[in-house]
Amino acid sequence: MAKKKKEEVIIDTRPDAPVTDQPITEMLEQNYMPYAMSVIVSRAIPEIDGFKPSHRKLLYTMYKMGLLNKDRTKSANAVGQTMKLNPHGDAAIYETMVRLTRGNEALLHPYVDSKGNFGKQYSRDMAYAASRYTEVKLEKFCELIFNGIDKNAVDMVDNYDGELKEPALLPVSFPSILVNSNMGIAVGMASNICSFNLKEVCEATIAHMKDPSADLLDIMPAPDFSGGGQILYDQKVMKEIYDTGRGSIRIRGKYTVDTKKNTITIYEIPYTTTMEAIIDEVCELVKQGKIKEISDIRNSTDLKGLKIVIECKRGTDHDALMTKLFKFTKLESPFSCNFNVLVNGSPKVLGVYGLMDEWLKWRRECIKRETAFDLQKKKDKLHLLEGLAKILLDIDKAIAIIRNTELEEEVVPNLMKGFGIDEIQAEYVAEIKLRNINKQYILNRIKDVDDIKNEIADLEDFLVKPKRIDNKIIEVLKDVIKKYGQERRSEVVRQEEVDTFVPGQEIEDYNIRIMLTKHGYLKKHTLVSLRSAGELKTKEDDEIFIDVEATNLNDILVFTDKANVYKAKAYEFDDTKPSEYGHYLPGTLGMDDGENVLFIIVTKDYKGNLMIGFENGKVALFPISVYETKQNRKKLINAFFDGSRAVSFIVLNENENPDLVAQSDISKAAVFESKLVPLKSTRTTQGVQLLTSKRGSKMISIRRVEEASFKDPEYFRIRRLPAVGYFIKDDLMMDKQINLNLEGI
């Protein structure tokens, strides 16, 4: 049934034209809906290849200009050429180009190699230079988005005036829709796709192809942004994003503290904000009196990258100040995910799994089209060579036919009749130069016929076996990882591992005593409570073995038998009464089942060195400053060597060189100077051998000599490491009982 032709609406625009009523629904349908669909389909929403039309037109124009292999050209030249495909004006095209450049730093993997000032994604006020001053070419990376475009991998459509052809999609070799951020606002809908690490995306895609039920969070745990920062990881939210394509990710900036200059330097900020916006917000908070610890803030960004320097007042708790800034400024900002893409011309909101499925479906079709193109080329070549082979049977006959033909237009028909070949084969034979009409030339041309037949059979087999197509995709993805894979820029941190600001929280600093019992109870006493206290309460089979003076703003490092270190602030623990057991650290710090506390260090400046003795007779010495992290980590895994059980912890001041004594379980001891143990720079060092194992002996302790109750310590003196040690005799001891003590500060 023929479709009814829509009546043309003619609007009378004369001033004296009569006014006619038109239903609002008709007006919207006739005028607004076409505009809305145009914006959705042809402008704002990216397609499955990861590009909007403006991106695609620009990149394809640069590709046709040869800028994938040539030197850079002026940006104005590329913009002008793109106007043949994109009618929206040079300003809009150049703005699109700016975001795709390496200089702007908006993308994890930029598509345009740039020279000149292209502004910065993280700056609101740093304007880009005019197109006549800057130069561009395509990045080598772009070879991945144009492979196969000349082999009919994608449809080619008319441009806006029908004079040129342009690709409907680009045949990208990897899931680019997930690799680079893309945002668009259409009519009645929007799209906001975050970027993921290229290496992780390719590995996850391979895993998904091999096992559709595989948990991609194990391979690709979170997005990755070009500006870095910290992603506060919430597994439930992340899983929702992967499943549905909707959810909100929180991103924090990164900072370092210079205690000597009393400054905080912010060097990475969330992708969704700018450094000027953050500085403005901080200044406003200072003016309102909400933050009193800041004396100055300045933008020190240079050629090395972003840098916001905050000068603090004396006595400022830098980490506590940063928790306030994370709370009240865009230093911690959300990224709202809305994975809305066009699939076959229709907008769909898909999760990571859905996007991968759609991309794979589309990519398989691209490879089939490329293969079909190659197959047809092979068949065409074989067809010509088969015609040439027939000529070989009687070259003289072919020459005679051509020579005896009076009219040029009859040469091809006569060859067709004389040798039983079709028009294409005859045309090919007729075009051979006279000098090439010889047996040697023809034999050389047709000798590859068998190889071509084998190649055709292989291509036909490839097209009918989906497994081979998938293997091809996997092979390409592995090559992408090898050539262009990079480590992630955004750090993934669990939410429970970072400090958050509590409204109304005012931290008071005062002197305290920190005590630790062998069962893992931490007691925090004010000096006033201890003056009138009697015996401090512990469980019957428990006792206090660390007792140190501190202040309420000190850091507490808790070492466990799982080689982990938990970091906490003293003020995070409530003051305890002498009659209370204290805070049970495994529960308070959220330790794993079966994880036990071995030792604590209470520090403010992280000065001094830590010596750890291990059961295998080794001893490690390294600075305590290795635990001073730039961010407020709550848990440090692999915090020290875990190849043997730790039996002793000793804290040494920087210039301290005390005599220490090591004891084994076969009653041997060795007295040595602590300087014999070399200072290492890494916390996971296994150290050096101190006691040599005899008959499977184990080291059970290291402590200061004055705690060992030796009558003559020099009897046990060793001059170099390792050593066997000396047997402990009763007449050398003032106290026969030797207790294992873990020493704190």
Please, which residues have CB within 8 angstroms of residue 366's CB and are 6 or more apart in sequence? 148, 153, 154, 171
Report d(CA 554, CA 572) in Å as an integer: 10
| 350 class by beta-carbon count within 10 Å (0-12 exposed, 13-18 middle, 19+ buried) | buried
CA distances from 674 to 43, 639, 677 (A): 70, 22, 6
Closest CA relative to residue 484, chosen from 201, 147, 103, 178: 201
Active site residue 133: yes
Instruction: Tell me which H or E stretch contains 295.
Output: strand 294-299
Of 501, 541, 445, 540, which Cα lies nearest the Cα of 632? 501
DSSP label of 53:
H
Q: In what order do the strands lie in the sheet with 308-312?
A: 254-258, 263-268, 308-312, 294-299
What order of strands is seen across the sheet that includes strand 332-338?
Answer: 182-185, 190-193, 332-338, 246-252, 230-233, 491-494
First-residue to last-residue Cα distance in the chain: 92
Q: Which residues contact 215 (CB under 8 A, 6 or more apart)?
A: none
Strand ranges inside 529-608, DSSP E: 544-551, 555-560, 565-569, 583-584, 597-603
Instruction: Fill in the amino acid letter for 555.
Output: D
| Helical segments of 600-640, H only | none
Dist CA 558 CA 573 (whole Å): 13
What angle is formed at CA 310 by the lines to CA 305 and CA 312, rounded to 5 degrees? 155
DSSP state of 142: G
Residue 483, class by beta-carbon neighbours within 10 Å (0-12 exposed, 13-18 middle, 19+ buried)?
Answer: exposed
DSSP secondary structure of 557-575: EEEETTS-EEEEEGGGSPP
Q: Distance between CA atoms of 89 and 652, rounded to whole angstroms?
A: 69
Question: In this structure, are residues 394 and 422 in contact, taking their beta carbons and an 8 Å threshold?
Answer: no
**Which amino acid, 566?**
Y
Pairing verdict, β 491-494 and 230-233: parallel
Q: From the candidates 32, 133, 160, 715, which is the catalytic residue?
A: 133
- Residues written for the chain: 745
Catalytic residues, by residue number, are: 133
